[in-house]
Amino acid sequence: MDVFFVISGFLITSLIIGDLEQRRFSLLGFWERRARRILPALITVAGFTLVVGWFLLLPSDFARLGQSLLAQSVFGSNVFFWRQSGYFGPLADELPLLHTWSLAVEEQFYLLFPLSMVVISRFAFRFRSQLVLALGVASLAISIWAVQQTPGAAFYLLPSRAWELAVGAWLALQKDNLRASDTIRQVVSFLGVGLIAFSVVAFDPATPFPGIAAIWPVLGTGAVIWANGTKLTFVGRLLATRPLVFVGLISYSLYLWHWPLFVFARYVNSTAFLSFGWNLGVVSLSFTLAYLS
């Protein structure tokens, strides 16, 4: 999700500043495009989850599913899950819509950030990058503090996640000013992938997160984006191969489908750890449903 937040911040800011520069930006138009992007697949998965949950879940678990869906309908599932349990807490394997916390963070970002960019562009255009950078630094400080004092809030809530989105936003605002030689871009691109890979291998559920630990995947993602901004590096060409582009095209739907399928599979098997056959089957079904939706 840290990788995704950086990419999202970069993409959304690029779209906003492009429309602002052409004097065609509309808040309602922006929100309408985001709704068309997010809601159809989300509603489909939510409906599927409710139907399957009716037959599989115990009444208390089904009631919790309904509560989480209501929270998501008002962009607040991250707050709901923060108040219910930790992401890696004992109930995590029984919450089919737990992963929608990240969508709530995104939706809150979509509501607040475009408004901020419109105001900043009108009254402080020359300082857009500095203000976004200051917002990111403040959010990172909150994240580092909160991960020690209130780790659940640090994980789920926008104030401690906003800096990850701000890194992408800052790169979008600075993309015409950050230039380097091909050699430097190649090196930075490899370093970026290395930082992401290090995070995948080195972190586990016991790692305090996000806080300082999240700096490495966030910087890695930002490095890859920057290094490939003007011309694709070797890493960029690898990411542009057809199989990886295909995964990227279905990634949102894949993200939506995978978690409830794994929750239901573990629920049926009454275990937190599935066999290789079950895992392979759930992954295959996730890809199939993601492609279809």
pLDDT digits (tens, 9 = 90+) for 46-77: 999 999 999 999 998 999 999 999 999 999 99
Q: Predicted confidence band at 94 (pLDDT cuts at 50, 70, 90)?
A: confident
Burial call 55-82: b when 16+ CB within 10 Å, e when fewer: eebeeebbebbeebbebbeebbbbbbbb
Instruction: Quote the pLDDT of residue 79.
Output: 94
pLDDT of residue 86: 52
Q: Tens of pLDDT along 41-51? A: 999 999 999 99
Tokens representing residue 3 in the block: 């990788």
Q: What is the pLDDT of residue 125?
A: 81
Q: At what angle do helices 162-174 and 215-227 cross, to 10 degrees?
A: 20
Q: How far apart are CA 55 and CA 155, in angstroms?
A: 31
Residue 121 has pLDDT above 80, yes or no: yes
Output 29 or 270, whichever has higher pLDDT: 29
For the range 209-212, what are the long-range contacts, defined as Cβ-Cβ under 8 Å and sequence gap of 24 or more? Answer: 209/147, 209/151, 209/154, 209/155, 210/2, 210/143, 210/147, 210/154, 210/155, 210/160, 210/161, 210/164, 211/143, 211/144, 211/146, 211/147, 211/148, 211/154, 212/144, 212/147
Residues 130-169: tens digit of each pLDDT: 999 999 999 999 999 999 999 999 999 999 999 999 999 9
* Number of Cβ within a 10 Å radius of residue 133: 18
- 118 falls in which pLDDT band (50, 70, 90)? confident
203-252 pLDDT, tens digit each = 988 899 999 999 999 999 999 999 998 899 999 999 999 999 999 999 99
Given a cut of 80, whether residue 14 has pLDDT beyond it is yes
Confidence of residue 122 (pLDDT cuts 50, 70, 90): confident
To the nearest whole percent, how much of the chain has pLDDT over 70?
98
Q: For residues 158 and 270, which has the higher predicted lDDT (pLDDT)?
A: 158
